[in-house]
Structure 1
Amino acid sequence: MSDVEEQVQVEEEVVVEESSSVSIEDCLQKVLRTSLVHDGLARGLREAIKALARGEAELCVLCDSVTEAKIISLVEALCNEPEEKIPLIKVSDAKQLGEWAGLCALDREGNARKVVGASCVVIKNWGADSEERNVLLEYFSQQ
């Protein structure tokens, strides 16, 4: 029986090491995929602003490479309203954000083709409770 107890302890240590090596971008990608499956994403600027204005947003992801500065200031202002502060995270590549949000076609091998860039994506419904979601919420609570 002592052998079984030692194996359980080793497995717990391995899980702790894996969770510490997970980056915020990896967590964000998995949370966006989960939310997409549960129909909880507002993709694109028009849908995102509607969700932010209605107060349906749980998390906002904004692309830094947007050419219009007014778009960035509008989204930041809607996220920082005094009634409801919505967590905002910025990514650098619009094509990558579009791929994470499902704005692409997949080939037979599962590789993304014909990726459409997204300037803003809002999570309206987290979908399922996951470890990645908890990591993101903890990250925003620390800031």
Structure 2
Amino acid sequence: MDGVAKGLHEAAKALDKRQAYFCVLAENCDEPMYTKLVEALCNEHQIPLIKIKDKKQLGEWIGLCKYDKEGKARKIVGCSCVVVRDYGQDDAARAFLQDYFDSQKKG
């Protein structure tokens, strides 16, 4: 996952260098100061910020887990912040996200 910066340290560096399409932040982050830092960097550089409830969910989404025989995630490692630096392939999901972010700027 070269196009993703995971963890607060990597994410903060990517945000500060404006190397981000968008940022996903877990609301249950252990450190309130990290949350404020990420929010401030996103706001300062006009980088879209998506908040989700659980850092374990975010960890699963980016593959910080093991999968059992049935394909269920096990031993999920929580991740408080993820920054997407590169979409990889240009597909419908990327277009959907871009349309969503554009509509948020207008509204």
Q: TM-score, normalised by structure 1?
A: 0.68
Note the alpha carbon deviations across 1:63-106, whole angstroms, 9 max, x for none: 0112322111100111111xx31111000011110000111112
- Report what 2:22 is aligned to: 59
**Consecutive aligned runs of 4 or more in structure 1 exceeding 3 Å deviation:** none
Deviation of 1:109 (Å): 3.0
Aligned counterpart in structure 1 of residue 82 of structure 2, from 121, 128, 135 = 121
Q: Find the residue that maps to 1:80 and give its secondary structure.
A: helix
- Structure 1 unaligned blocks of 5 or more: 1-35
Aligned length: 104
- Report what 2:55 is aligned to: 94
> Which is higher, the Rg of structure 1 or of structure 2?
1
Q: Find the residue that maps to 1:90 and give its secondary structure.
A: strand
Residue 106 (str. 1) matches residue 67 (str. 2): yes
Q: As a proportion of its length, which structure holds more helix?
A: 1
Q: As a proportion of its length, which structure holds more strand?
A: 2
Where in structure 2 are the equivalents of 1:1-143 lying within 5 Å? 36=1, 39-81=2-44, 84-143=45-104
Q: Find the residue that maps to 1:52 and give its secondary structure.
A: helix
CA distance in 2, matches of 1:120, 1:109: 28
CA distance in 1, matches of 2:90, 2:70: 28
Give the CA RMSD over aligned residues: 1.2
Q: Which shows bigger deviation, 48-57 or 115-124?
A: 48-57
Deviation of 1:52 (Å): 1.0
Note the alpha carbon deviations across 1:79-138, whole angstroms, 9 max, x for none: 111xx3111100001111000011111223322111001100000111111211111111
- Report what 1:10 is aligned to: none
- Structure 2 unaligned blocks of 5 or more: none
CA distance in 2, matches of 1:40, 1:108: 28
